[in-house]
Structure 1
Amino acid sequence: MANLIDSRQLLAFATLARHGSFTSAAKELFLTQSAVSHAIKSLETELGVRVFDRIGKKAHLTLAGERLLVHADRILREMQDARSGIEELQNWGQSRLRIGASTTACQYLLPSVLREFKQSFPECVIRVEPADSPEMGEALRANEIDLALMLRPPNREDIEFRPLFNDTLELYVAPSHPWVKRKDLTTEERSATTFILYNKGTYTYRMVTEYLRAAGVTMHNPIEMGSMEAAKELVKIGLGVGVFARWVAQKELREGSLVALPIGDEPLSREWGFGHLRGRQLGLAEETFLGLFESAAETLNLDPPKAAA
């Protein structure tokens, strides 16, 4: 087959497109800037078009470059998958597992599964990248992770989502909170409280705010926390009302330091699962991990995914 694009040129092109800087691209590729520049010039000569506009020290994709990048990302990803698949066949059990998960899931859901997985794949290289659901789609597309433990992503045709369990968000208060003895709370009372929520940039934060807004509840100056443990501590001392899933607060419910209340008249449910790039074939290690996680979800009393209608 004639006129194939050199893979090294393609890698230099994709790396430069991601950084927009010859210096940064050369550093990542362990090459000199002149070597990266030569690779791009050779690529442009072979294609007969410019793929970058050089403006000062920055490199900006041309229209032809944008079109090429769509193919380049897919080709490089498939080349990496091919190598990984061959290495896994050659050295069974010496594969890698790259998982993306929120810090909360890393703390409460993953440890027991990873311990059991490591017993089956002792030589597997495991890497867990803490990130929230909106960020994990980008990490999957950038080939930084293989699997993402995430909420079902909205309108992501390039991500295949495998449902694992459902959970329900509830209100949590200290045992001394006046709401504990109340059966019916007015919209005004809910609006007057201070809500303690996790990470404003997450799907969950958006779900909670939209749910409360639809119920006529207005949040005034909610407290945003980057740690679920810290959020629970604030609720315990009566600084506000938390919104958590039950699997996050099991310990506190058992010891009686937190009390769960309905968030509203209707439940607020989430659907969790693992996402991966559509069309990517999962390896033995990844399929084993997913099976172990499904079993662990049952022991944690997490609701199984609802069957499609």
Structure 2
Amino acid sequence: MPLSPHVPELGALELLLDVVATGSIGAAGRRHGVTQQAASARLRTLERQVGFAVLERRARGTRLTEAGTAFAAWAARVVEAAADLDTGLTALRHRGSARLRLAASMTVAEHLVPGWLAALRAHGGVEQITLTATNSAAVADLVRAGVVDLGLVEGPDPLADLSQVVVGTDDLVLVVAPDHPWARRRRPVAAALLARTPLVTREVGSGTRTALEQALGTPGPAPVLELSTATAVRESVRAGLGPAVLPRLAVAGDLRDGRLVPVGLTGVDLGRRLRAVWVGPTGRPPAGPARDLVATATARAHPPEPRRKGDAGGVTPRCSSSPHH
């Protein structure tokens, strides 16, 4: 039977749910590319259509009324079902001609993406893959512009204007050549000393450099040398040009073989997260190969624990789910 005229259109439901998520009509409007006034007008139209007040507007923000709480829960189910429909339609449109346009930060592109793509190709479903390797800031720009379907970036903080999910972790390590004075240092280097030491660094916009500067709270002095790849930085350190802070992924072999020496640090946390980023609904990467790649990367970062003796084989305990932010 036809739907009642009291059922709002999908875009209005999405706007309402974003108001619930942000607590602000203005913030929700920005997500939808409209002004606060336009968002407010659209929500008032929704309330007239359903026949009751959905939102309670206050000076400190906006919250759901009692009726609005029930309505928002139903709206969330409708939007989720619509997203599933969108996913299915996309899969049908691209069936047999799946492609993946990917951009990744240099570290991720060199050390993680090849393994992820090999696993993805082994399961089929993707015929053409293009990969652009650049720094994290440029990756984010390519995603925003729609040039690529998915980006993979490094850095301590999420990007506020893109949907994202953590697909792995890495830490930065201070390294020097074996004949550098710090190679024989018995005490860790203090953060304050590192902050005033000229380093061999990546270029501005690199996730590695951004993470270091944020951790130290300062850009520090002018670099000894500024280079566009971790490989070039690593080779410069090995040549004796100075210390560097690099991803452990990028120097693992050199540390193992003694070509570089790790130096302890104190007073600074150089752990960071690796994220997949995209334009679209939070928690739902683009359908098709992009979503499959995120699933592959996440599974490799968090492999399932082996079953202990006595575990029930093939049975997964039922647990309650909670919404992610």
Smaller-chain TM-score bracket? 0.5 to 0.7
Percent sequence identity over aligned pairs: 24
In the alignment, what sits opposite 1:175? 178
Contact 1:150 1:272 in 2 (8 A): yes
Mean Cα deviation higher: 205-214 or 265-274: 205-214
Aligned partner of 1:135: which letter?
A: A
Q: 2:195, 2:105 → 1: CA distance?
A: 28
Alignment check: 8 A CA contact 1:169 1:263 kept:
no
User: Are 1:204 and 2:219 matched, yes or no?
Assistant: no
What is the match of residue 227 of structure 2?
Answer: 225
Query: Which one of the candidate residues 261, 283, 295 is aligned to 1:259?
Result: 261
CA displacement at 1:281 relative to structure 2? 5.5
Residue pair 2:163, 2:279 contacting (<8 A) in 1 also: yes
CA distance in 2, matches of 1:281, 1:244: 29
Rounded to whole Å, the distance in 2 between the matches of 1:192 and 1:276 is 36
Q: 1:116 deviation in Å?
A: 1.9
Map 1:4-43 → 2, pairs under 5 A: none
Shift of 1:193: 4.4
Match of residue 16 from structure 2? none
Say which of 284, 288, 298 aligns to 1:284.
Answer: 288
CA gap of 1:103–1:245, structure 2 versus 1, over 3 A, is closer
Q: Give the gaps of 5 or more residues in structure 1.
A: 1-69, 72-81, 300-307
| 3-state SS of 2:266 partner | coil
8 Å contact from structure 1 (residues 100, 145) kept in 2: yes
Moved more, 269-278 or 131-140: 131-140
Q: TM-score, normalised by structure 1?
A: 0.61
Describe the superposition over 1:173-198 as per-residue Cα deviations: whole angstroms up to 9, x where unpaired.
11222212212346786467431111
Please say if residues 208 and 246 of structure 2, whose CA atoms lie closer than 8 Å, have aligned partners that are also in contact.
Answer: no
**1:264–1:225 Cα change, 3 Å:** farther
Cα–Cα, structure 1 residues 220 and 140, in superposed 2: closer, same or farther, change >3 Å? closer
How has the CA–CA distance of structure 1 residues 92 and 245 changed in structure 2, closer, same or farther, with 3 Å as cutoff?
same
SS of match in other structure, 2:221: coil
Q: Is the 8 A contact 1:152 1:161 kept in 2?
A: no
Cα-Cα RMSD? 3.4
Say whether 1:115 aligns with 2:118.
yes
Amino acid at match of 2:204: K
1:84 positional shift: 9.8
Q: Which runs of 4+ in 1 moved over 6 A?
A: 82-85
Cα offsets for 1:61-117 (capped at 9, x unmatched): xxxxxxxxx68xxxxxxxxxx999756415535311111102232111111111221
* Unmatched 5+ stretches in structure 2: 1-32, 35-84, 304-323
**2:150 pairs with one of 147, 151, 176:** 147
Higher mean Cα deviation, 290-299 or 100-109? Answer: 290-299
Is contact 2:168-2:297 (8 Å) kept? no
More helix by share: 1
1:171–1:260 Cα contact (<8 Å) kept: yes
Q: SS at the partner of 2:262?
A: strand
SS of equivalent to 1:249: helix
Q: 1:138 to 1:251 in 2, by over 3 A?
A: same
* Distance in 1 (alpha carbons) for counterparts of 2:239 and 2:215: 26
Deviation of 1:143 (Å)? 1.2
Q: Does 1:236 align with 2:254?
A: no
1:117–1:238 distance in 2 versus 1, CA, 3 Å: same
- Give the distance between the partners of 2:183 and 2:88, measured in 1 at CA: 55
Q: Are 2:285 and 2:291, in contact at CA under 8 Å, matched by a contact in 1?
A: no
Question: One-letter code of the match for 1:116?
Answer: A
Q: Is 2:191–2:266's contact at 8 Å kept on the other side of the alignment? A: no
Distance 1:186 1:125 in 2: 48
